[in-house]
Structure 1
Amino acid sequence: MRSFTSGFKSFSTHSTQSFFKKFYQDVVDVAPKEFKLEELKRPIGLAQPPSKATVYSRGNSFRDLFDREKTNKRSKELGLEFSKSGMYDIHIFRKTNGKLFTSPPSYWRSDKSLYFPHITGLSLKDGQVSLEDTLRGKVSVVRLFSSKVGDDLCKQYLQNDELKLNYLEPSASQSLQSKGIQTVDVNFVDSGIKYALMKLFIGRLRSAVPAYRHSHYLLADREQLPFNVRETLQINNVYTGFTIVVDPALKIRWMASGSATTDEFKTLWKCVKRIREESFH
């Protein structure tokens, strides 16, 4: 028994040392390269539709530690996460003013599109909810942000002074809803501790957000989506904001980051109109 325990400890120590050696090399290999602004061409999203039963993997199980392929994959994921620290996010935000990619000129086809993730959070009206329940059956413009700056950038896709359009006004919002279109705000709090504190002071947030928006405003913990899922969705930078068009089947059909030009504003709402026509006719 003693020899078995000694052998297991020796194996565990060797495995740990090998993992960290591989991890260090992966950090070096995936060190961020010079940032290049590119257009989103391929659909963004996840392969499986969101549901209350959805659970996103956060790493290897004990059994996976004995699987070299899975361990190497996890090491690369951790290396990428480590290399893209908060300082990296700040650097990229300052360099791009929050425009991490340019939006596609039109929406992605339904049969090629991928799914929006499963996100739960605190609705300002209905308490704890799953976001997919709010999105299902409607064309949704989802604003995803983790800061006041990100919130303000996202608003540019709903408000345009040049065109004299403001879809955040009560009358405009109600008009959209009568057509099966809605705007949804997701305050994606960037840490579990901050999320817990914000829940304690939820009354202040309710006071700051117009009452007619409460049912479409969700306070959510960003950490419920693992790093690799956020990376797949290209929503990892906490300093900017993201605007995402989701169809009634919960598929991501168009996406933007940062601020909006007048042309981008027009493109978003043209996509929304066509997706609505496609979905309800």
Structure 2
Amino acid sequence: MLASASRSRSTLVAAVASCRTMRAQPGIGPTTARISARSFMTQPPTSENTTEQNSLPLSPYGGRFGVPEQPMSTKSLALSQANSKRSPFSKAKEGVKSKMHDWTDEKKNLEKRKELLDDFQSGYFAEFSEINRTGSKLWKATTSMVNADKALYMPNIVGTSLKTSEPIELVDVLRGKISLLAISGTRFGEEQIETYMKPFLSKWPAGTSKVQLVELNIQENPLKAGLVRMMVPFVKKTLPEERHTNYILHYKSIKHLKEPLSMQNSYLGYVFLIDGNCKIRWGAHGPALEAEVKTLLDSVQRLSERGGR
């Protein structure tokens, strides 16, 4: 009995010592949430199985990102609809009928449930796993920009201006200028787009007349969107004032744009070079490779010499 008690006591002492050791180690125990000035997220895991740069596949679609339809601002779209033959009343009536039909259509309801389930299964946890499995670089950008006649358009996105807190439309900001559009929704993604923005801004500082940086902060998750909304005053203090004008916040889903822009992973950062006609001439994602930075700067210079075309 004494031997048994002695063994139990030894086991208890060892367990206590183990707990103390764990508490002493950094990163073990209660964690402190990190809230970025410009976005909110938990840092994705760092993969030890990071893909070798030279084995990365080339960018999807041959570097052609975007949609075939030329973007229109909501004002232009409203005018176009107002000039159509059908009256607004008939359009509204058709819309109500369509929604009523959807609510009572069992097949439609099942399809909607499946869509929600797919969103959940292929959501944040799946994206976390992808980064952990493949690393933060899924493909490498092309070494040259797409020709204007083959390039697709950047779709319009309506957001909120950091400078004025008023609605702002992406197409109005892009039209007529050469733009580096940097998109992120997480701190992880912000760190990645910085690797493109820094060399870009060193050659074309914010406020340059015909060449500009446009930043788009996308928050699709309602909880994160609420947190970022509360932090907007702090964002204004930390971000250089000359970048406020072209900083756009978007608090809704962009699910319909992820496929044409190849933005399937929400944790990563994405950049697109857009000409004066709102056409995407080049795109990249993740931390910049040396060759990608060179292609970006050379392409901007070439577009600038051609007047943005």
Q: Calculate the TM-score normalised by the size of structure 1.
A: 0.71
Larger Rg: 2
Q: CA deviation at 1:90?
A: 0.6
Q: CA deviation at 1:107?
A: 0.8
Provide, for residues 97-139 of structure 1, a one-character-per-residue CA deviation record: whole Å limited to 9, x for no partner: 3212221121111111111121122222133211111111001
> Residue 105 of structure 1 corresponds to which residue in structure 2?
143
Distance in structure 2 (CA, Å) of the matches to 1:74 and 1:279:
46
Task: Report SS of the residue matched to 1:177.
Answer: coil
1:183-194 equivalent positions in 2, closer than 5 A: 183-194=213-224
Q: 1:150 aligns with which of 168, 185, 189?
A: 189
Native 8 Å contact 2:270 2:283 kept in 1: yes
Distance in structure 2 (CA, Å) of the matches to 1:201 and 1:126:
15
1:157-168 equivalent positions in 2, closer than 5 A: 157-159=196-198, 166-168=199-201
Sequence identity of aligned pairs in percent?
28
> Residue 125 of structure 1 corresponds to which residue in structure 2?
163
Distance in structure 1 (CA, Å) of the matches to 2:252 and 2:208:
27
Task: Report SS of the residue matched to 1:240.
Answer: coil
Provide, for residues 235-272 of structure 1, a one-character-per-residue CA deviation record: whole Å limited to 9, x for no partner: 13121100111111111110001011211100111111
Native 8 Å contact 2:276 2:308 kept in 1: no
How many residue pairs get aligned? The number is 232
> Residue 198 of structure 1 corresponds to which residue in structure 2?
228
1:48-59 equivalent positions in 2, closer than 5 A: 48-53=69-74
Query: Where do 5+ consecutive residues of structure 1 fail to align?
Result: 1-34, 160-165
Q: 1:87 aligns with which of 93, 102, 125?
A: 125
Distance in structure 1 (CA, Å) of the matches to 2:56 and 2:228:
34
Distance in structure 2 (CA, Å) of the matches to 1:205 and 1:146:
14
Q: CA deviation at 1:191?
A: 1.6
Query: Where do 5+ consecutive residues of structure 2 fail to align?
Result: 1-50, 79-97
> Residue 135 of structure 1 corresponds to which residue in structure 2?
174
Task: Report SS of the residue matched to 1:244.
Answer: strand
Q: CA deviation at 1:213?
A: 1.0
Provide, for residues 118-164 of structure 1, a one-character-per-residue CA deviation record: whole Å limited to 9, x for no partner: 112222213321111111100100110011111111111133xxxxx
Distance in structure 2 (CA, Å) of the matches to 1:72 and 1:232:
26
Q: CA deviation at 1:47?
A: 1.9
Q: 2:263 aligns with which of 227, 235, 260?
A: 235
Q: Give the counterpart letter for 1:146 in structure 2.
A: G
Q: Give the counterpart letter for 1:148 in structure 2.
A: R
Native 8 Å contact 1:141 1:183 kept in 2: yes
Distance in structure 2 (CA, Å) of the matches to 1:77 and 1:115:
27
Native 8 Å contact 1:97 1:258 kept in 2: no
Distance in structure 2 (CA, Å) of the matches to 1:80 and 1:208:
37
1:254-265 equivalent positions in 2, closer than 5 A: 254-265=282-293
Distance in structure 2 (CA, Å) of the matches to 1:136 and 1:202:
26
1:274 is the counterpart of 2:302: yes
Q: Give the counterpart letter for 2:184 in structure 1.
A: F
Q: Give the counterpart letter for 1:177 in structure 2.
A: T
Cα RMSD (Å): 3.3
Provide, for residues 48-102 of structure 1, a one-character-per-residue CA deviation record: whole Å limited to 9, x for no partner: 22223369xxxx95557999x9999989866764542211111112233321222
> Residue 41 of structure 2 corresponds to which residue in structure 1?
none
Q: CA deviation at 1:192?
A: 3.1
Native 8 Å contact 1:190 1:238 kept in 2: no
- Summarize the Cα distance change of 1:80–1:112 in structure 2 as closer, same or farther, 3 Å threshold: farther
Greater share of residues in strand = 1
Q: Calculate the TM-score normalised by the size of structure 2.
A: 0.65
Q: Give the counterpart letter for 2:136 in structure 1.
A: G
Q: CA deviation at 1:278?
A: 3.0
